[in-house]
Structures are given as structure tokens and as C-alpha cells.
Amino acid sequence: MLTAGVARAQDDATAAEANTGVAIFAGGCFWCVESDFDHIEGVKETVSGYIGGKNDNPTYETHTRNGDREAVRITYDPSMVSYDALLKTFFRTVDPTDDGGQFCDRGFSYSTAVYTLNDAQGALAEAAKADAAMVLAQPVATEVLPAPTFWPAEEYHQNFHAKNPIRYRYYRNGCGRDKRVKSLWGDQAYSGIDKK
């Protein structure tokens, strides 16, 4: 009985994994990326964190000098939203032409990147990058890279937009994020996001 129970649990875990996808996007301030992707049907979880640096266990205080980008790990249901659709939304929520950061946040830690988990994601990400460059009619600086270890950020950064809505709105408006994205992308800005 125990063996059958363990086998069933393993089968359930495998089935759950098959019904779950993961995407990792760096799009400037992780509070904003997390907030945007929390408004997409089929997204199950977003986690703010750090990726790409030279040392383990980066923190908010060390991530810039460590060479990490702020990023968000997105867990989603592929039967409700595709990786391709998430990529399209990602590019239309950032300024992918800016190689020096995003909006008021400057420097490598706030630059854009798609971190891929396999070759299929890599091919889709390169295609989405090419599409963005074609639509914008200018070069896209966003990097497409194989994902190294993703390190979740401190708890106070998680769901910051929900826990601190006034401070979050003040930051987002003051940073000029929405204004720049709408100016750059026009009607395609925030494609796929339900802001209800």
C-alpha cells in the first residue's frame, strides 16, 4: 500500500509539473514586473528575485555590486496562457531599446533580459525579440540568456504592489514607466494584461 501511495504521489507530482510552466523575465524594477504579470489570466505565481550575479545568496543591498539583475520568476498554467504570449506581454511592458536600465532605474541591475530554461524557450525568446525590433523599427537591447540560479528576494519585496499600494503607485508614476511604455508601444502597450 505504501509503495502504491508513493507511486501515486510521484505520478501526481509529474502531472502537476506537466501542467506548469516557468518563465523568468528581467524588466527593471521587479515590483512592477510582478504587478504586471499578476494581472494575466493563467499566471499562478510571481516571485521577485535576483539572477545572473557572481556570488550566491544576493540581497537587495548586494545585488548591484554582485552583478545581478532584478527579475521575476513566473509560474503559469500552459493550458491558459502560452510562453509565447507571456513573451509578447513582457516586451510590451518594458522599453527593450534601452540598454542602460529601465525608466528612472539606471544600471545593469535594471536592464532587460529573458532568462530561458531550455532550447525551446530560447528559440521563442529570440523570435519575440526579433518581432519587437520589427514592430518598433529599432534595435532591441534585451538579452536572451540561459537561466542561471534564480534567488528569491527578501519577503518585503514580494507582492510589494499589494502590500504597499500607495508607495508602489507613487514610485511607478514617479519613475515614468507607464508613460514611456505607452509612448513607445502605443496601442500594443500592456498587451495581455487585465488591469481590472
Residue in 52, 49, 122 with CA at minimum distance from that of residue 84: 122
String of DSSP letters for 133-168: HHHHTS----EEEE---EEEPPGGGTTHHHHSHHHH
Please state, as a whole number, how many other Cβ atoms lie within 10 Å of the Cβ of residue 88. 17
Active-site position among 29, 32, 104, 175: 29
- In the chain, DSSP finds a helix count (H) and a strand count (E) of 8, 8
- Residue 143, phi then psi, degrees to nearest 5: -85, 145
| Residue 175: active-site member | no
**Is residue 93 classed as helix, strand or coil in its secondary structure?**
coil
Angle 110-113-117 from CA coordinates, rounded to 5°: 135
Selection from 28, 69, 25, 60 nearest residue 43 by Cα: 25
Active site residues: 29
